[in-house]
Structure 1
Amino acid sequence: MSEEEGGKPPLRDRVFRAAAELFHAEGIRGVGVDAIARAAQTTKMGLYRQFGSKDELITEWVRNQVEQYTAVLDRLAGRWPDDPRRQLAGFAEFIADDVASATHRGCTFINTVAELPDAAHPARKLIEEHKARQLARLTKLCRAAGHPHPGRTALHLTLVLEGAQAVAQNGSAPDLRKRLLEIAAEIVG
């Protein structure tokens, strides 16, 4: 009987989900392949048959996170196709909701960059490319919204949203969600 027939998700999915939960809770460097294999109810060999290395698994996890963030902007574009200001506000709301529920681990991207010192690591490259695309997309929305300096406006919004994600981890700003939305509204107009 295959794993699918036995009621368990496929092994690749189990390994990925176990790694994602552990990476988020304990950090990518704080989690070894033994712990991932145990949580996925497999062996190290089973893990390596699905993902050739821990770095490959980390990169796949980051790719999944990138896809989730991109999907948020896609949904906002679909919901308000002719309202770039509402799309910008919606993205700020998404980040504000995220920081309001932040745990000790905070932003996946910030933590991953901090834990992977090698700038050539494929996961770091994915994050850099994602952030560049995200800034370009926000710039395009700012231009469509009629901002006189769309690149600068998008950069200001990015700095505030990224900064809020870092501040959420240390809890130093009271009413962070509310304040973040106020600042984002001032920037977006």
Structure 2
Amino acid sequence: MDATTELRERAVSAADRLYYARGVQSVGMDELRSEVGVSLKKLYSLFPSKEAIVLAVLDRRHQVWTDGIEDTAAAVSTPREKLLAIYDFLFAWFSTDDFNGCGFINAFGELGATVPSVAEAAREQKLSFQAYVAELSRQAGAPDFLAPQLALLAEGAQTTAAISGSPESAHHARAAAVTLIDAALAPQH
């Protein structure tokens, strides 16, 4: 990794940590520059705007989310178990000390109305997750209506966990997912 790439990664990591803990708008470029340990000019040479840094953070969060879900699903074998593994991943994430909700929902809430690229990044992440759930649902032989229901359970669990400060919403969402999956896969008479 060259020095510029390493510095970009360090800046994205610092921005992610600060934005996730306190919100994008409460962290100025000068504070980010200090955290990264570079001049403001250098920071702007890496990212031409704060929007560019926010988008890089969201891109990184999307990759971390995708990797986490897929790694958890890889530990089980059937499509049904993989669907339920989503909620196991959520419980583990919600149980971390620094959990502050979904970074995409947070960024959308702060900037979605005024920064179209942030709104689009949030939409893309949500659509990507919905497509992942839809593919697992198809593999399980479930009707098309199941995937959006399971995705909504996961999204609702994230918001509830962030507000309540408790990871238990993941367990409740998982139990509801079991009911929905079993009903969707039950033989029709």
Secondary structure (helix, strand or coil) at the match of 1:31 reads coil
Secondary structure (helix, strand or coil) at the match of 1:52 reads coil
For 1:179, which of 150, 155, 172 is the aligned residue?
172
Query: Is contact 2:161–2:169 with CA below 8 Å preserved after alignment?
Result: yes
Structure 2 match to 1:61: 57
Report sequence identity in percent.
26
Count of aligned pairs between the two proteins: 180
Unpaired segments ≥5 residues, structure 1 = none
1:22 aligns with 2:18: yes
1:136: Cα distance to partner? 1.8
1:129: Cα distance to partner? 1.5
Structure 2 match to 1:142: 137
Structure 1 match to 2:44: 48
Superimposed CA distance per residue, residues 138-173 of structure 1 (whole angstroms, 9 cap, x where no aligned partner): 1121122122x23x2111111111111111122187
Unpaired segments ≥5 residues, structure 2 = 183-189
Tell me the C-alpha RMSD between the 2 structures: 2.5
Structure 2 match to 1:95: 90
The residue type equivalent to 2:91 in the other structure is A
1:165 aligns with 2:158: yes
Query: Is contact 1:66–1:127 with CA below 8 Å preserved after alignment?
Result: no
In structure 2, how many angstroms separate the alpha carbons of the residues matched to 1:185 and 1:118? 36
Describe the shift of the 1:119–1:94 C-alpha distance in structure 2 as closer, same or farther (beyond 3 A).
farther
Structure 2 match to 1:12: 8
1:33: Cα distance to partner? 0.3
Superimposed CA distance per residue, residues 69-125 of structure 1 (whole angstroms, 9 cap, x where no aligned partner): 222344356545x62111111112111222233757321111011011337622321
In structure 1, how many angstroms separate the alpha carbons of the residues matched to 2:131 and 2:17? 30
1:123 aligns with 2:101: no
Query: Is contact 2:95–2:166 with CA below 8 Å preserved after alignment?
Result: no
Structure 2 match to 1:83: 78
For 1:35, which of 31, 38, 61 is the aligned residue?
31
Secondary structure (helix, strand or coil) at the match of 2:24 reads coil
For 1:154, which of 133, 147, 156 is the aligned residue?
147
Q: By percentage of residues, which structure has more helix?
A: 2
In structure 2, how many angstroms separate the alpha carbons of the residues matched to 1:10 and 1:172? 34
Describe the shift of the 1:188–1:16 C-alpha distance in structure 2 as closer, same or farther (beyond 3 A).
same
TM-score when normalising by structure 2: 0.83
Describe the shift of the 1:119–1:78 C-alpha distance in structure 2 as closer, same or farther (beyond 3 A).
farther
